Amino acid sequence: MNFPAVPCRSLAHAVTYHKNMTMHLTVLDHPLVDHKLTVLRDKNTPSNIFRELVSELVTLEAYEATHDLAVEDRPIETPVASATGRHLAGPKPMVVPILRAGLGMLDGMTRLLPTAEVGFLGMRRDENTLDIITYANRLPDDLTDRQCFLLDPMLATGGTLVAAIKYLKERGAKDITAIDILAAPEGLDRLEKEVDPSIDFKVVVCAVDEKLNDKAYIIPGLGDAGDRLYGLAE
């Protein structure tokens, strides 16, 4: 008996945010994502539940973000026969959480991609000037041919992400995917203008929100992701 192949439904839909946008933006579109994101936004959600939800959402985002991972054929022996499967090709993908809030996304990413190598990039936004300050890094000097995944919960002004992408590019990275929980239109605008078009650059988010306020917080957003992850929010 022949069974027709049924296409698997994606968790997401691709969005062209601007007609001339060179990056690929993917927004998750699924009832579970909507539910988890609603609880995440609620100011009454305690930090332990907030951390769990971030991890779960990142795992769902990672499923979409890793569609283009390089694979190669590998012969194997099952208990009953020889077979050829597909295996992740080298070099290992590089997962780079942007400290500190990006660290709260690492568990959700490595749950789906446990063989990835992990680096760290410490960047923060000056609350007065909004300039990006790099205070720590732990990355290989050569990222040539590595598929890189940047983790940062909030794509607000886009400044941190632009600086991180430049940092990776200087080390040879050409395939970079940013995974964020929320994005603001202003941040997407900045990425469109400032990211080198020679980079194969993709963004995966759970939602694109309305705007930034005068303090560069995403509206409606979810507040300060770092403070809420680590129990420092009021």
CA distance 1 to 119: 49
CA distance 50 to 42: 9
Residue tagged active-site, from 86, 115, 129, 214: 129
Active site residue 129: yes
Residue tagged active-site, from 29, 107, 189, 227: 227
Active site residue 66: no
Residue tagged active-site, from 125, 134, 171, 200: 125
Closest CA to 179 of 159, 204, 209: 204
Total residues found in the chain within this entry: 234
Active site residue 68: no
Closest CA to 148 of 91, 86, 225: 91
Token pair listed for 90: 């080298």
Active site residue 171: no
Pairing of strands 200-208, 24-28: parallel
Three-state DSSP state, 165: helix
Residue tagged active-site, from 29, 107, 200, 224: 224
- Within the chain, strands assigned E span 12-15, 24-28, 71-77, 82-88, 94-99, 117-118, 120-125, 132-138, 147-151, 154-155, 175-183, 200-208, 211-212, 218-219
Give catalytic residues, as residue numbers. 125, 129, 224, 227
